[in-house]
Structure 1
Amino acid sequence: MSVTEQRRGRRIMMSPGELDAFLAGQRTCRVATVSADGTPHASALWFLWDSGALWLYSLVRSRRWTQLGRDPRVAVVVDSGEEYGELR
């Protein structure tokens, strides 16, 4: 990644207060876990942002919870915006 790309990312980066307000107003995220063979498994979930904690709503017998029991790595994406300057 070049320095130019990093600077562009900083233009859309949120402050802690902006991030807190953004996440408090959203409800859907994409969660990625790692399958037994190492492939990613991504799915949409509802979530709640509460005092700096992300609470995910999921069935405990779901594929993602089985995968998390085996490998705790997880990625969560919450985004909005159409144009680059609108991305959050």
Structure 2
Amino acid sequence: MTATNLADLYDLPPLDLAALRARLDQGFDQAPGGGGPDRHTCWLTTINADGSPHVTAVGALWVDGAFWFETGAGTRKGRNVVRDSRCALAVALREYDVIVDGTVARVTDPAVVAARAADWAAGGWPCEVDASGTALTAPFSAPSAGSPPWQVYRIDATAVTALQTVEPGGATRWVL
């Protein structure tokens, strides 16, 4: 792993990746009124077939040292990650603005899918594992997720950039 201090210009030390991970481990609420100016929104960027970026909000989780999201196979982001697994996910927390560059992998292990369903349900989205055991269903989801079933995806980070938004500040990029 290499770390680059992006705040040398301001004589600030590099950020501590362990502290950033500890903050992410605390979780963040994506429900209205739960954070940020009104909530924390995760923005997923995937790559369209023509090479242009596609950015969309997703209901992501940080669990087991990785970001997770769900979407329908027919959505643009769903089609994009099948064709090209490279992506980026960004979220603004109170203490940090975070960008994770990485690759996406669909998760089909029934135990892992069930664990993520439980995590999303604990956060207020009443999803459950579908009859296949490898995808999710619920009475509703974001319109951008498409119709159920929704596949579960894990982002394996290749790089992380964080800007500390509280004192003393700082900015660091880690290539993993």
The one-letter amino acid of 2:165's match is E
Work out whether 1:53 is the aligned partner of 2:53. Answer: no
Q: Which runs of 5+ in 2 are unaligned?
A: 31-40, 95-162, 172-176
Q: Is the CA contact (8 Å cut-off) linking 2:42 and 2:90 kept in structure 1?
A: yes
Closer, same or farther in 2 for the Cα pair 1:40/1:21, shift >3 Å?
Answer: same
3-state SS of 2:58 partner: strand
Give RMSD over aligned pairs. 3.1
Q: Which runs of 5+ in 1 are unaligned?
A: none
Work out whether 1:25 is the aligned partner of 2:27. Answer: yes
Q: Deviations over 1:45-74 (max 9, x none)?
A: 011111212111322321101011111110
3-state SS of 1:78 partner: strand
TM-score of the superposed pair, with normalisation by structure 2 = 0.39
4+ runs of 1 displaced by more than 4 Å? Answer: none
- Normalized per residue, which structure has more helix? 1
- Normalized per residue, which structure has more strand? 2
TM-score of the superposed pair, with normalisation by structure 1 = 0.69
Identity %: 25
Q: In 2, Cα distance between the equivalents of 1:63 and 1:53?
A: 22
Q: Please, which of 56, 60, 78 is the counterpart of residue 91 of structure 2?
A: 78
Pick the structure with greater CA Rg.
2
Of structures 1 and 2, the one scoring higher in RCO (CA 8 A, sep 6+) is 1
Closer, same or farther in 2 for the Cα pair 1:69/1:42, shift >3 Å?
Answer: same
Q: Give the paired residue count.
A: 84
